[in-house]
Amino acid sequence: YAMLLSLIFLIVLVAAVVGFVFRHEIKTNFESNLNLALRDYNMTADRHSEAVDTIQRTLHCCGVQNYSDWERTEYFTQRGIPQSCCKSQDDCSEEDLKDPSKAKLKVFVDGCFFLVTSTMESKMSVVAGISFGIACFQLVGIILACCLSQYITNNQYEMV
């Protein structure tokens, strides 16, 4: 049992170190994937388009760097900026979303990349604290399992 807990502890430790060391690559990868999701965005219910809509609605953002990122997509030429960028769903018509100058007043102007990464970084201390707490419990479990094993081993030889 102590060996199993030690293995899990080492896996979690390695994952934390790798995540910390490669955090810049994770950001770059996220940005490129967000750009790809915008480029391939469509009205069908694929999971990339749903993810973009969810991020934009939840964080009140639009595009990767700002709302004008949508102007370089095929979706924009057909329908304009998506409804998920609108500040108010009632005050956002398709004609307004096709005109970037009008859309600027009706959609969120901040980009999603900065908001997502800043949200992740602000929550990192909570994740680190929870991880540290779990690691402490694992270490206590490892020590207690070793003590129990030692106690069982010592008592077997005394019984003979």
The least confident of 2-16, 72-86, 99-113, 119-133 is 119-133
144 has pLDDT over 90? yes
Q: What count of other Cβ atoms lies within 10 Å of the Cβ of residue 5?
A: 19
Name which of 41, 93, 96 is nearest 64 in CA terms: 41
CA dist., res. 153 & res. 2, Å (int): 15
Instruction: Please report the pLDDT score of residue 157 as a whole number.
Output: 59
Question: Both tokens of residue 44?
Answer: 């069908």
> What was the pLDDT predicted at 93?
84
Map tokens 């994952």 to a residue. Answer: 15
Task: Yes or no: say if 89 and 60 are a contact pair by the CB < 8 Å rule.
Answer: no
Residue 52: CA count within 13 A, CB half-sphere: 29
> At 96, is the pLDDT very low, low, confident or very high (cuts 50, 70, 90)?
confident
Q: Which pLDDT score, from 0 to 100, does residue 158 have? A: 57
* Count of structural domains within the chain: 1
Looking at residues 83-93, what average pLDDT do you find?
86
Whether the pLDDT of residue 130 is over 90: the answer is no
Nearest CA among 32, 80, 88 for reference residue 57: 88
For residue 41, give the CATH number of its domain: 1.10.1450.10
Give residue 54's domain range. 1-158
Measured CA to CA, the distance from residue 83 to residue 32 in angstroms comes to: 22
Encoded tokens for 50: 């749903």
Amino acid letter, residue 95: E
The pLDDT tens digits for 34-69 are: 988 888 888 666 788 888 899 999 999 999 999 888
Whether 160 shows a pLDDT value over 60: the answer reads: no
